[in-house]
Amino acid sequence: MTVSDQELYAWLDGELPPARAGDTERAVAADPALATRAEQARRARSLLAEGFPVVADPRDQALARLILDGPARRPMFSLPEGLRWPQLALAGAAAAACFGVGLSIGLLKPETPPLIGQGGALADAALVRVLDSRRAVDGADARGRAVGLTFQDAEGRWCRTFAAGEAGLAGLACREGEGWKAEVVAPFETAGTELRTASADIPAAVLAAVDASAASDPLDAQAEAELLARWKGE
Amino acid sequence: MRKRAFRTGPWDETIRARRSIPHGRFPPLDAFQSELVALLPRLRRLARALARNEADAQDLVQEAVERALAKRRGFQAGTRLDSWVFTIMRRLWIDQGRSRTRWNKVVTPEDAFTSQQPDASQAGEALRADALAVQRALKELPDDQRLAVALVLIDGLSYAEAAEVAGVPAGTLTSRLVRGRQALVARLGEAGVAA
């Protein structure tokens, strides 16, 4: 079977209908020369992902301010005293970076789902799992996701600070229904390029949000474990 | 239901004690604004892939955001904001190209490569030589192929989405993508990079 580059690339990009994808897959498996072409194309794609990473850029904060300070279309609320838009501004950038950095390589297309649902719901499933089940003492997982403080806000929602180390972001999310709503997300304040792995440096914006919304003292390790066990049982 | 259960727990008294302290909840994020902010990293990445240098990339991001804000009324809620803003950026980028001398006719690839270096260090990316080679190879592609490659292979849009952003039929997008990728593979091979 002769496979054109167009067919081969479409297969690699997940753009072929299942039947043709199966044909192409078998052809690649049976033909070393074709397998080499596939590998080269895949490699080009993975290098592109590496050469053009999603990186947190300090200038994005200024742009976020521009976006959020713009003429409000429907002013529906006022900000709590002491809070400013920029603290909220990076909620989206956070989620974006989570997805972007996790850009996968190979046969699977990188996912570009909506990053924040209506009302700021966290859309990163892995981060949601971490918030649902990870203890602070567990530290960071392999991709630098960790949780810090766990407390209740005035409405009885459980809130947790978290770090998404690979994305270089930290934030505060509160549990609503089955999901988590991002209240504030901000980049780690330390400059640098290595992956952040711990919840050590919680950005000031996140700490300010904790101070503003915490209605209970943070849970200790035992109370945290009990709470997580209860969620698991729900 | 759950909230009530929580309040009967051992934290109940603490909550009551704190209840009198005034503090506000965070307001809900405006969907358009928060989605646009969420797009910034992807916008910047696309701009870096399209523009000839970091300064132009920053201009592209800035102008695309300003244009998106100005044209907000033109955005249909429920449709893809990323495609909409990417399309804005694509138009700006084409205008940018028309209004200035083509960079690759006046600058050698070596210059372009060199001009990339500060960006890489500024972004703090410990980019391997291979990744730098692919950056360079991408910049050498004709504009229409570069756009197709950037949208599909870097951003990860589907062919159909990329065609919409590029403003061309799907078949045109596909053939540009194929030619661009063939050229990339060939150049990486020449550079001793490809597998």
Helix (H) / strand (E) containing B157:
none
Show residues of chain A in contact with B42, CB under 8 Å. Answer: 54, 96, 100, 112
Q: Would you call A50 an interface residue with chain B, using a CB distance cutoff of 8 Å?
A: yes
Q: Which of B65, B116, B153 to mutate to test the interface with A (most CBs of A within 10 A)?
A: B153
Say if B18 falls within a structural domain: no
| pLDDT value, residue A117 | 52
Q: Above 80 in pLDDT, residue A27?
A: yes
Q: How many domains does chain B have?
A: 1
Q: Above 90 in pLDDT, residue B64?
A: yes
Say if B158 falls within a structural domain: yes
Q: Above 80 in pLDDT, residue B101?
A: no
| pLDDT value, residue B111 | 44
Q: Would you call B44 an interface residue with chain A, using a CB distance cutoff of 8 Å?
A: yes
Q: Do B36 and A92 touch (CB under 8 A)?
A: yes
CB B171 within 8 A of CB B178: no
Question: Which CATH number belongs to the domain containing residue B123 in this structure?
Answer: 1.20.140.160
Q: Above 60 in pLDDT, residue B82?
A: yes
Q: Which of B8, B11, B34 to mutate to test the interface with A (most CBs of A within 10 A)?
A: B34
> A180 — phi, psi (to 5°)?
-125, 140
> Residue A199's closest CA among A112, A134, A107, A123?
A134
Give the β-pairing of A158-164 and A145-152. antiparallel
- Rounded mean pLDDT, A19-23: 93
Cβ-based neighbours of B190, under 8 Å, separated by 6 or more: none
Cβ-based neighbours of B53, under 8 Å, separated by 6 or more: B103, B112, B115, B116, B119
Domain holding B174, by residue range, is: 31-190
Q: What's the CA gap between A93 and B37, in Å, rounded?
A: 6
Q: Do A156 and B3 touch (CB under 8 A)?
A: yes
Domain spans of chain A, in order of start: 5-51, 58-68+82-233
Say if B22 falls within a structural domain: no
Say if B26 falls within a structural domain: no
Q: Would you call B33 an interface residue with chain A, using a CB distance cutoff of 8 Å?
A: yes
Say if B43 falls within a structural domain: yes
- Between B194 and A182, residue with greater pLDDT: A182
Tracing tokens 């924040």 back to the chain, one arrives at A116
| pLDDT value, residue A188 | 61
For chain A, percent of residues with pLDDT exceeding 70 = 68
Q: Do B189 and A45 touch (CB under 8 A)?
A: no
Q: How far is B163 from chain A (nearest CA, A)?
A: 13
Q: What's the CA gap between B81 and A113, in Å, rounded?
A: 11
Q: Would you call A12 an interface residue with chain B, using a CB distance cutoff of 8 Å?
A: no
Show residues of chain B in contact with A45, CB under 8 Å. Answer: 153
Q: Above 50 in pLDDT, residue B158?
A: yes
| pLDDT value, residue B3 | 39
Q: What is the DSSP letter of B12?
A: H
Q: Do A52 and B45 touch (CB under 8 A)?
A: yes
| pLDDT value, residue B110 | 43
| Number of Cβ atoms within 10 Å of the Cβ of A58 | 9
Say if B99 falls within a structural domain: yes
Q: What's the CA gap between A206 and A173, in Å, rounded?
A: 10
Q: Do A73 and B7 touch (CB under 8 A)?
A: no
Q: Do B6 and A15 touch (CB under 8 A)?
A: no
**Band (B21; pLDDT cuts 50, 70, 90):** very low
Q: Which of residues 51-90 of A touch B (CB under 8 A)?
A: 51-57, 59-60, 63-64, 66-68, 70, 72-74, 76-81, 83, 88-90
Q: How far is B142 from chain A (nearest CA, A)?
A: 16
Q: What's the CA gap between A26 and B62, in Å, rounded?
A: 47
Q: Do B25 and A153 touch (CB under 8 A)?
A: yes
Q: What is the pLDDT of residues A125-184, one digit of tens each?
A: 888 889 999 998 888 887 778 898 899 998 899 999 988 766 667 788 999 888 898 887
Average the pLDDT over each of A42-51, A104-113, A214-223, B57-66 and give the range with the smallest value: A104-113
Supply the DSSP string of chain A, one letter for each residue.
----HHHHHHHHTT-S-HHHHHHHHHHHHH-HHHHHHHHHHHHHHHHHHHHS-----HHHHHHHHHHHHSPPSS----PPTT--HHHHHHHHHHHHHHHHHT---SSSPPP---SB-GGGBB--HHHHHHHHH--GGG---TTSEEEEEEEEBTTS-EEEEEEEGGGTEEEEEEEETTEEEEEEEEE-SS--SSPP-SS-S--HHHHHHHHHHB-SPPP-HHHHHHHHHHHHH-
| pLDDT value, residue A116 | 52
Of A10, A15, A48, the CB nearest to B154: A48
Say if B20 falls within a structural domain: no
Say if B44 falls within a structural domain: yes
Q: What's the CA gap between B11 and B90, in Å, rounded?
A: 54
Whether the pTM exceeds 0.80: the reply is no
Sign of the dihedral through C-alpha A167, A12, A21, A31: negative
Q: What's the CA gap between A89 and B29, in Å, rounded?
A: 9
Of B28, B69, B195, the CB nearest to A39: B195
Indicate the average pLDDT of chain B.
76
Strand ranges of the sheet holding A169-176, from the earlier edge strand across to the other edge: A145-152, A158-164, A169-176, A179-187
Q: Do B157 and A112 touch (CB under 8 A)?
A: yes
Neighbouring C-alpha atoms within 13 Å toward the C-beta of A203: 27
Identity of residue B57: A
CB A196 within 8 A of CB A188: yes
- Compare all CA atoms of chain A with the CA of B62 and give the residue at the minimum distance: A63
